Structure 1
């Protein structure tokens, strides 16, 4: 196993991880920003106000993009098993 192969595997794993996590993180950040702006304009300083909307938004994104995320992770796993099978050759 060469250094280039290890670097490629790590790059693929990190890229897949970022792609899988990105939709939920982006939606959570946007919802948090919207609620923060709402809190600043209305001067409501309730810390727990952001929790439920973020939770619901992340759940909706999880249901909507779950199939795509699963396929991305399965693709990474398949590529890893292919690499493992080819190491002995």
Structure 2
């Protein structure tokens, strides 16, 4: 297994991790910004007001995107297992 193959597999894994985490992180970012804006406008400084909506939104995003995320992870794993003999054999 040469270094370019190792780097290629590592790059694919990092891209997959970024793809899989993006929907949840973007959802948390948008909801967090909206709640912060609401707190700034109304001057309500309650800690649970910022946590609970984010947690609910991330859970909904996970329900919506969960099937796609699992499918992407399974496809990556199957592709990696298919490439394994050629990676080890040279």
Distance apart, 1:57 and its partner CA: 0.7
Structure 2 match to 1:88: 89
- Structure 2: tracts of 5 or more residues without a match: none
User: What are the superposed Cα offsets for residues 27-72 of structure 1, whole Å, 9 maximum, x if unpaired?
Assistant: 0000000000000111111122111111111111111111110111
Query: Secondary structure, in 3 states, of the residue corresponding to 1:61?
Result: helix
**Pairs aligned (count):** 89
Partners of 1:65 and 1:71 lie apart in 2 by 10
1:18 aligns with 2:57: no
Structure 2-normalised TM-score?
0.92
Structure 1 moving runs of 4+ over 4 Å:
none
- Structure 1: tracts of 5 or more residues without a match: none
Structure 2 match to 1:2: 2
Give the aligned CA root-mean-square deviation in angstroms.
1.1
1:74 aligns with 2:78: no
